[in-house]
Amino acid sequence: MSEVTISNVAAQLVVGMRKRGTYAQIRPMMLILRDYVTAAGVQIVGPPAFICHETPKNVVKANLQRNADVEVVIPISTPIEEVEEITCYELAGGPMAMIAHKGPYEGTAQAYRKLFAWIAENHKKVAGPTREVYLNDPKTVPPEELLTQIYAPVA
């Protein structure tokens, strides 16, 4: 696990999908988005991300109750037509604390604890939804090689 860094993250044009359910929906939702973007002929310009709208205290409870607020996005080069539950918008940027996690997605809890401890120790506050950016694909690398960047907007 890496150290926490802080940087100014640029806003990004994204195509997204948001629904209630469990975090197990993240990958299938990303595949739907990727297929939609590919069919529209729009270029993907960055890795996919999960936007976590729950507070850290509510994450496990929401997922177990199958009522988690699950949003996934993919950065794209140009605006795309919205249909049904697929939207296109600018994902906010700004100052964010970030920590990198290497390993299975199920093992990110320690990285989150370290990130939130750093935020508290540095007298900052989480100023919006956290996000997980997935830098490689679980279909092409083993779980121990998965790379995830976890961001928290801070104020």
Would you list the domain boundaries of the chain? 5-153
- Residue 25 DSSP class: G
The per-residue pLDDT for 1 is 58
The per-residue pLDDT for 65 is 77
Burial (CB count within 10 angstroms: exposed 0-12, middle 13-18, buried 19+), residue 80: buried
Q: If pLDDT is split at 50, 70 and 90, which confidence band does 66 have?
A: confident
Domain over 5-153 is classified CATH 3.20.80.10: yes
Q: How far apart are CA 14 and CA 80, in angstroms?
A: 9
Burial (CB count within 10 angstroms: exposed 0-12, middle 13-18, buried 19+), residue 143: exposed
The per-residue pLDDT for 68 is 87
Distances (CA, A) of 96 to 76, 81, 140: 21, 29, 29
Length of the chain: 155
Chain mean pLDDT for the chain: 93
